Amino acid sequence: MKAKYLWIILLALAGVACEQLDQVPESTASKNAVFGSEKGLELYANSFYNILPSASAVHQSDAMTDYGARTQVPDFLREGAFGPRQSSGWSWTNLRSINYFIDNCDNPAIPVETRNHYIALARFFRAWFYFEKVVRFGDVPWINKAMDVTDKDLFNGRDSRTLVMDSVLADLDYACKNIRTTSDNSRTLITKYVAYGFKSRVCLFEGTFRKYQTGYNLGGTANKWLNEAVAASEVVMKEGGFSLNEAGGTDKSYRQLFTNKLPVTSEIMLSAVVDPALSVFNDANWWWTSATYGARISFNRTFINTYLNIDGTPFTGKAGYKTMTFAEEVKGRDKRLQQTIRMGNYTRINGGAVEAAPPVFSYTYTGYMPIKWSLDDMYYDGGSRNDNSMSIMRYAEVLLNYAEAKAELGTLTNDDWAKTAGALRKRAGITGGLTAKPAVVDTYLQANYFPAINDATLLEIRRERGIELTLEGLRFQDIIRWKRGELMEQTWNGFYVPALDVPMDLNEDGKMDVVFYKVKPATSLPGVTYINVAETVSGVANPQRLSNDTSGELTWLNNIPRKWNDRYYLYPIPETDRLLNPALGQNPGW
């Protein structure tokens, strides 16, 4: 929707931009120019879409997760490397713009239903804004008016999480009731069902946060939020008209959602789209295929092991799975795996020619190289050229929100399982366990991820959520609400290497791809990448090793400790903002 790009003009007209709570400009234009007609309201409301993540921000949003090895250990997880001086995110510009709109959207010449619709859009975005703030900082000031420099509340302290989240829920309820748009084929607008979908996300987060983050003593209110998540999801499922994309069959339907130029409207509910006419692109290929740009995310083997066999049984139930080579272990698995990483017969286009494309060790550290968001034509690899749309919200998430909330409440039925997690597995080609909720605990999943969970069904829903929504920006939120920060300490492990100095054919095309060595051979094979896994390289500790020294799983950056501390569940209030307003205080441990 091109009108969204007019937001800069509208903000200038309204004079509402501010960066801190104490920087509030005066209005410089007649309010009637904006608030005197529906077109004015529409143009102003379009400015709120700037709050949503950009296309590039979407595909980069899981840059810090438990299942991703990356070029460097995030400072956030390095003891003493991150604190209030390094923190960020305490910006309130968008909130004043929203509140200014709500305060002035009262012109009696505009029909009440019309005003309510635009106020509902504003309150949706206020809920989006505040949810992100609460996830990041916990208690924050609740501000529901456009303050100016004389406002006595300007330097108040933070309000309680319960007050803020109750206010977020009230905003979402109003949005769900009053947004009149029910359908949008561009998938770039906030519709009634997007509001319900977002409500399901927020309520699942808050309900499980209150259940598992027991230090807040809010467990008694957890079920209220979980029931709200179920109810919001049900509206989308019954009324929204969405369905899982199955147009490409089990081999392609999943990845189509992330590589199509236009959103797959059956499943995608909200999307960040490109617009070549306005030179709006994203940098997915550059970020995911470059040896120098981006975080170079590679999956760890512990996570890859959670992908089921195609018959629905755990892969880790196979004899000898720990020592299977890459080419062996990726066979006969959940077909989302082949649509998420380079494996098997994956190919890319190079100047019109189709070429085999095994994992490339100039990029990947573990061998599990993502392809979920990138396009297969190498033309897109250099710079911000990508023209694929980026999913911000999709129907699969709503199904998982519904399933998890009901499982937490103890009300999930076999039918619920079949139409949610079972349906997602069916789309992925899995043939077993689709109609009845699981009854047997997967001990690998439990031991490595959720040792406190004994409910087999809940464990499987968490597995499903990790696989289905991987790299979509929800994983760190999940870790926070499940209180599983220790997962961030997991070893960055890669595929199994049987021996040094033995060439490996990763995609079984008859051509060798990589050799791991401690002493490089005098003669190198053409087209083969050589990786040094010695203890040191040029006198410096080598970040790339094998777990058994001369064989075993690849490991990356085990020489740099990653230590989880419970204070990390909240970011610190940035030091500069706390100095401006000491009443804000600081989060525990910071």
pLDDT digits (tens, 9 = 90+) for 55-106: 999 999 999 999 999 999 999 999 999 999 999 999 999 999 999 999 999 9
Buried b (16+ CB within 10 A) or exposed e, 325-354: bbbebbeebbbbbbbbbbbbebebeeeeee
Residue 45 placed within a domain: yes
Number of domains in the chain: 2
Contact 372, 471 (CB under 8 A): yes
Q: In this structure, what token pair is assigned to residue 219? A: 């467990």
pLDDT in tens, 381-429: 999 999 999 999 999 999 999 999 999 999 999 999 999 999 999 999 9
Whether 101 and 17 have beta carbons less than 8 Å apart is answered as no
Q: What confidence tier does 29 reach under pLDDT thresholds 50, 70, 90?
A: low
pTM (2 decimals)? 0.94
Band of residue 2 on the pLDDT scale cut at 50, 70, 90: very low
Split at pLDDT 50, 70, 90, the class of 152 is: confident
Structural domain includes residue 38: yes
pLDDT tens digits for 526-561?
999 999 999 999 999 999 999 999 999 999 999 999
In-domain check, residue 321: no
- Residue 154 in contact with residue 22, Cβ under 8 Å? yes
**Residue ending a domain, choose from 240, 274, 299:** 240
Higher pLDDT among residues 278 and 358, named by residue = 358
Q: For residue 346, what are the contacts with CB-CB under 8 A and spacing of at least 6?
A: 338, 356, 357, 358, 371, 507
Residues 254 and 336 sit within 8 Å (Cβ to Cβ): yes
Of 143-147, 218-222, 249-253, 434-438, where does mean pLDDT reach its minimum? 143-147
3-state secondary structure 364-398: CCCCCCECCCCCCEHHHHCCCCECCCEEEEEHHHH
Region 322-334 average pLDDT: 98
pLDDT tens for each residue of 92-140? 999 999 999 999 999 999 999 999 999 999 999 999 999 999 999 999 9
Rounded distance, CA 102 to CA 115, Å? 9
Can you give the pLDDT at residue 397? 99
- Residue 235 maps to which CATH number? 1.25.40.390
Instruction: Determine, yes or no, domain membership for 25.
Output: yes
The reported pLDDT for the residue numbered 529 is 97
| pLDDT value for 28 | 47
Which pair of tokens denotes residue 10? 């509208």
- Please state the rounded mean pLDDT for residues 369-386: 97
Secondary structure of 488-528 in HEC code, one letter for each residue: HHCCCEEEEECCCCCCECCCCCCCCCEEEECCCCCCCCCCC
| Two structure tokens written together for 474 | 């929800």
Helix, strand, coil percent content, the chain, rounded in steps of 5: 45, 10, 45
Assigned domain for 104 exists? yes
Going by C-beta distance under 8 Å and a sequence separation of 6 or more, which residues neighbour residue 86? 75
| Cα–Cα distance for residue pair 436/59, rounded to 1 Å | 33
Residue 69 falls inside a structural domain? no
Task: Name the residue range of residue 110's domain.
Answer: 2-54+86-240
CA–CA separation, 11 and 146 (whole Å) = 14
3-state secondary structure at position 249: helix
Burial class (CB in 10 A: 0-12, 13-18, 19+), 318: middle
CA 505 and chain centroid, separation: 33
Question: Could you give the CA distance from residue 86 to residue 562 in angstroms, rounded to a whole number?
Answer: 17
Q: Residue 195: inside a domain, yes or no? A: yes
Q: Which pLDDT score is estimated for 541?
A: 96
Per-residue pLDDT at 11 exceeds 80: no
The string of pLDDT tens digits covering residues 36-57 is 999 999 999 999 999 999 999 9
Cα torsion 558, 560, 563, 568 to 10°: value is -120
With a pLDDT cut of 70, the percent of the chain lying above it is 95
Q: Is residue 184 part of a domain?
A: yes
Indicate the residue among 240, 262, 283 that finishes a domain.
240
